[in-house]
Amino acid sequence: MKLLLILLTSLFSQANTYYAEGNYAEAAAQYEQIIASTSDEISSDYAMVYYNLGNAYFKQGELAQSILAYERALRLQPSLKDAKHNLQFAQSRIVDNIEDTHSFFLSNWLKAVRNALSERTWVMLSISLFLLTLVGFFFFAFSRTIWLRKTAFYTSLVALLISVGACANAGSLHQRDTERAEAIITQGIVNAKASPDRSGTELFTIHEGTKVKITETIGEWCCIEVGNNIGWMQLTHLERI
C-alpha cells in the first residue's frame, strides 16, 4: 500500500510537470493512469486529480472529456470552487443550451442543497445532529429548570428534523452515485431516435458536452432525457459521470 502511494504521488507530480510544460496530452495520460491504478472506491482525495485532468483535456480542446472530469471532481468534493468555475466555463462553450421547462424551482433548489455536500459529509452531519437530539431530550426529560427544558426541547426538535433531512440527502446521493444515471455526450453530434434501432426516426440532435439522464438501457442502446426531450441513442455516444 505504501509503495502504491509513493508511485501515485510520483505520477501526480510528473503529470503536473507535464501540464506546466504545456504537454497536456502526456499530463492527461498520467492523470488517467493514477485513476486507473486506484480501487473502485475513489476517495475525495482524488478530486484534484479529476480537476487537473479536466484542465488538461480543456487545454487540448476536448470539451466533453473536460466537463466529464470536472463533474466527477465535484462528485468527490462538492466544495471545490475552481472545479465549479471551470465546469461552468466549459459548459458555456457547448453548442446545446437545453432547459427543462417542466422542472419545478423547488426541486432544483433541493437538488442544489443536496449537491452542496458529499455523501460522507451528510452522513456525519446526520449522526452528529442525532446525537445532539439525544442530548437535548435527556435535558428535557431530567432537567427541573423550565427555560432549560424548553430550550432543550426545541433544540432537539430542530436537530432531529435537520438530521432526517441530512440522512435523506445522503441516501439520495448514494442512489445517484450507484445508479450513475447522469452522463455526458462524448461524440461530436448525436441524433436521438424514437426507438432503439439505427433505422429509427430521428427526433432531435445533441452535441458533445451535453449532460443527459439515462432512464433505461436495452443492449447497446439507452433511453435518455435532456430538458423536455426523450430519445434513444447508443451507449458508445456517451459516458456516465
pLDDT band of 162, cuts 50, 70, 90: very high
Number of H helices, E strands in the chain: 8, 7
What share of the chain in percent tops pLDDT 90?
A: 82
Section 90-104 average pLDDT? 76
In this predicted structure, what is the pLDDT of residue 85?
97
pLDDT band of 3, cuts 50, 70, 90: very low
* Burial grade of 208 (CB within 10 A; 0-12, 13-18, 19 or more): buried
Q: Which of 53-62, 93-102, 220-229 has the lowest mean pLDDT?
A: 93-102
pLDDT band of 101, cuts 50, 70, 90: low
Residue 10 has pLDDT above 90, yes or no: no
For the segment 51-60, what is each residue's pLDDT rounded down to a tens digit?
999 999 999 9
For residues 122-152, one letter each, b for 16 or more C-beta atoms within 10 angstroms of the residue's C-beta and e for the rest, the string is bbebbeebbebbeebbebbeeeeeeeebeeb
In this predicted structure, what is the pLDDT of residue 8?
77
Residue 39 has pLDDT above 80, yes or no: no
- What is the pTM assigned to this prediction? 0.87
- Which one, of 110, 206, 80, 31, lies nearest residue 88 by Cα? 80
Section 5-9 average pLDDT? 71
Sign of the torsion formed by the C-alpha atoms of 219, 225, 231 and 236: negative
Question: To the nearest whole number, what is the mean pLDDT of the chain?
Answer: 92
What share of the chain in percent tops pLDDT 70?
A: 92
pLDDT band of 108, cuts 50, 70, 90: confident
In this predicted structure, what is the pLDDT of residue 67?
98
For the segment 124-150, what is each residue's pLDDT rounded down to a tens digit?
999 999 999 999 999 999 999 999 999
In this predicted structure, what is the pLDDT of residue 5?
65
The single residue listed with the C-alpha cell 417542466 is: 102
For the segment 194-219, what is each residue's pLDDT rounded down to a tens digit?
999 999 999 999 999 999 999 999 99
